[in-house]
Amino acid sequence: MNFLEQYNYWIVIILMMSGFYIVIAHGNLIKKMIGLTVFQTSVFILYISMSKVTAGTAPILNEAYKVYSNPLPHVLILTAIVVGIATTALGLALVVRIKEAYGSVEEDLIQEKDLQQEGSE
């Protein structure tokens, strides 16, 4: 099989992993959320790419076209996007609260404060 046929997926994977890396490695909560979004969005691309048919067109029925790309992944991703934004919103809400409660959005600072609290208990 011809590896070049997969180039598209590989790009996606690179994107995905960069997002993933941000999530794990960054200490800033907001950065983490961003990373998460990037991660998810790249997964969306993965789905969409698989629906593409060469010389196909958007799946809106029309006499002019014969070949349409697969509508199913589109639907799935529509849903996934919504889920994504929902998660982001929730996550950010948490960040706001954390900022209020701890006065910081840096992971290590927060954990420090927790340790102190446990010590005091």
Partner 1 sequence: MLMGVYSLLTASFFVLMDAVDVAFTEAAVGAGISTILMVTVLSMAGRFENRQLHHPRIALFVVLITGVMLVYGTFDMPAFGDLNAPVQTHVAPYYLQQSAQDIDIPNVVTSVLASYRGFDTFGEVVVVFTAVIGVLAMLEFSRKPDTTGDEPAPMYQHKILRIVGKILIPPIMLFALYVQFHGEYGPGGGFQAGVIFAAAIILHAMLFGVESTRKAVSMPVVKVLAAVGVLIYGSVGVVAMLNGGRFLEYNALAENPITGQHVGIIIIELGVGITVATAMMLIFLTFARRVGKANGDSA
Partner 2 sequence: MIEHLPILQVIIPLLAAPICLILREARLVRWFTFIASALAFVNSILLLQQVQTQGTISYSLGGWDAPIGIEYRIDLLNAYLLILVTSISTLALLAAGPSLRKELSERKETYFYVAYLLCLTGLLGILATGDAFNVFVFLEISSLASYTMIAMGRDRRALWASYQYLIMGTIGATFILIGIGLMYMMTGTLNMYDLAERLPEVQQTKTVFTAFAFFVVGVCLKLALFPLHLWLPNAYAYAPSIATVFLAATATKVAIYVLLRFIFSVYGFEFSFSHLPLQEILVALGLMGVFAASIVAIYQDNVKRLFAYSSVAQIGYMILGLGVGSKTGLTATLLHLFNHALMKGAIFLALAGLIYRVGSVNLKAFSGLGKQMPWTMAAIVVGGLSLIGVPLTVGFVSKWYLVLALLESNWWPIAVLVLIGSLLAVIYVWRIVEVAYFRKAMQDSAPYKEAPLMILIPTWILVLANIYFGIDTGFTVGLSEQIAASLFEVAK
Window 47-76: residues binding partner 1 (CB under 8 A): 48-54, 56-62, 67-76
Contact yes or no for 95/29 (Cβ under 8 A): yes
Residues 6+ away with beta carbon under 8 Å from 12: 42, 45, 46, 49
Amino acid 32 reads: K
- Contact between 25 and partner 1 by CB under 8 A: the answer reads yes
- Contact between 38 and partner 2 by CB under 8 A: the answer reads no
Structure tokens at 45: 């691309």
Q: Under the rule (CB under 8 A), what is the footprint of partner 2? A: 20, 23, 29, 32, 36, 39-40, 43, 46-47, 50, 72-73, 76, 79-80, 83, 86-87, 90-91, 94-95, 97-98, 101-102, 110, 114, 117, 121
